[in-house]
């Protein structure tokens, strides 16, 4: 089996990433793998490298980095009508939150994650991909407060859960709400949950929001569960809209977020569906897997079922 490891040296904690290339090289040598290593040099380079690796016949292309690195590498491995069986994505999580890795039950330690990514007995999960105005996302996308926190966090050179929380507080102090019209289509059996949410296909709401998150997995990372019950292989996405709150209400919602019961908040509405339209008053920033993008006033969100083959530990798929 042929492998290619794609390392983003700027992911997560820089000190940890400084020795990552040597760690991967030592791992390859110790196990005698048919493998190569590429290092990204800037935004979008991971997609270019992954596409070349797949074209070179690599059975597994392993992203070594955070959710942004995962996004770039995975884009090159999506199933297309012309290329139905692509290389499988392996993941060595080195980001701050590692939301998708946690959702998939992947090890967070690099050596154990490398073992899973290269294990011939590991299973291949066919997971869904979300899209927003043509941009793919694999964990989640968001707007409003969600995008503002991402913007602030991406400007930091030193990243950790503590700095993420600090930037979240700073963003909340300067928060702005906006009115959005949310339209839902193809609602699954889970329907909608939350105060005032509609469960019928074609339903939706008009509401003042602090943030909207559309989730493929259930969490941001670090145990912050934004969409309880979400799965990456159910052919649907979960849209979670949170209304404005004061400091006390926001603190209660933050506790619910980490306890996994955010849906119990009176400020939260959530829908599960195959397609969403989000209309806001003006264009503005969004994020896809933590990467900031300028987007229009109308956002078209959809799901590509079973479009990415991802390596997970043996026994994960039931």
- 243 and 266 co-located in one domain: yes
Q: What confidence tens digit (pLDDT) does each residue in 118-143 have? A: 999 999 999 999 999 999 999 999 99
Report the percent of the chain where pLDDT is more than 70.
83
Is it the case that residue 12 has pLDDT exceeding 80? no
Selection from 8, 4, 3, 5 nearest residue 289 by Cα: 8
- Strand-pair partners of 140: 215
In a domain, 292, yes or no: yes
DSSP secondary structure letter of residue 314: T
Query: In CATH, what number is assigned to the domain containing residue 35?
Result: 3.40.50.10330
Rounded to whole angstroms, the Cα distance separating 301 from 295 reads: 12
| In-domain check, residue 18 | yes
What pLDDT sits at residue 200? 33
Q: Within this chain, do residues 169 and 259 fall inside the same structural domain, yes or no?
A: yes
Which residues, in sequence order, are bridge partners of residue 88? 60
Residues 6+ apart with CB under 8 A from 177: 144, 208, 209, 210, 243, 244
pLDDT of residue 191 exceeding 60: no
Say whether both 84 and 116 belong to one domain.
Answer: yes
Tell me what pLDDT residue 61 has: 97
How many domains is the chain partitioned into structurally? 2
Question: Do residues 294 and 146 share a domain?
Answer: yes
Instruction: Specify whether 49 is located in the same domain as 168.
Output: no
Q: Is residue 87 part of a domain?
A: yes
User: Are 99 and 181 part of one and the same domain?
Assistant: no
Q: What is the pLDDT of residue 186?
A: 74
- Report the mean per-residue pLDDT for the chain: 86
Q: Range with the lowest mean pLDDT among 47-51, 82-86, 147-151, 187-191?
A: 187-191
Average pLDDT of the segment spanning 233-249: 92
Does residue 152 sit in the same domain as residue 225?
A: yes
Q: Is the pLDDT of residue 166 over 80?
A: no
176 and 109 in a common domain: no
* pLDDT value at residue 316: 81
Q: Of 89-93, 218-222, 235-239, 301-305, which gets the smallest average pLDDT? A: 218-222
State how far the Cα of 235 lies from the Cα of 94, in Å rounded to an integer: 27
Tell me which residue range forms the domain holding 99.
Answer: 2-120
pLDDT band at residue 206 under the 50/70/90 scheme: very high
Q: Are residues 116 and 144 located together in one domain of the fold?
A: no
More confident residue, 279 or 221: 279
Its pTM stands at: 0.86
């Amino acid at each position: 089996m042929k492998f290619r490891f794609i390392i983003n040296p700027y992911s997560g904690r820089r000190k940890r990433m400084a020795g990552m290339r040597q760690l991967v090289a030592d791992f390859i040598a110790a196990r005698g793998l048919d493998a190569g290593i590429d290092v990204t040099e800037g935004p979008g380079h991971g997609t270019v490298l992954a596409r070349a690796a797949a074209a070179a016949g690599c059975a597994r292309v392993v992203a070594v980095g955070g959710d942004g690195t995962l996004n770039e590498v995975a884009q090159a491995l999506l199933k297309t009508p012309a290329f139905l069986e692509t290389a499988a994505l392996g993941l060595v999580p080195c980001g701050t939150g590692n939301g998708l890795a946690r959702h998939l039950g992947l090890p967070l330690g690099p050596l154990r994650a490398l073992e899973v990514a290269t294990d011939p007995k590991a299973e291949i999960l066919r997971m869904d991909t979300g899209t927003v105005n043509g941009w793919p996302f694999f964990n989640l996308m968001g707007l409003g407060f969600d995008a503002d926190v991402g913007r602030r966090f991406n400007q930091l050179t030193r990243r950790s859960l503590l700095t993420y929380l600090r930037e979240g507080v700073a963003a909340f102090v300067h928060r702005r709400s906006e009115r959005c019209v949310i339209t839902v289509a193809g609602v699954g059996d889970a329907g909608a949950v939350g105060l005032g949410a509609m469960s019928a296909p074609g339903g939706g709401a008009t509401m003042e929001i602090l943030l909207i998150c559309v989730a493929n997995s259930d969490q941001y990372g670090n145990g912050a569960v934004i969409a309880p019950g979400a799965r990456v292989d159910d052919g649907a996405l979960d849209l979670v809209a949170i209304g404005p709150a004061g400091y006390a209400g926001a603190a209660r919602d933050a506790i619910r977020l980490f306890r996994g019961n955010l849906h119990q908040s009176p400020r939260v509405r959530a829908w599960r569906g195959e397609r969403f339209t989000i209309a806001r008053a003006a264009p503005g920033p969004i994020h896809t897997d933590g990467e900031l993008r300028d987007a229009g006033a109308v956002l078209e969100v959809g799901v590509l079922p079973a479009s990415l083959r991802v390596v997970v530990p043996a026994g994960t798929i039931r």
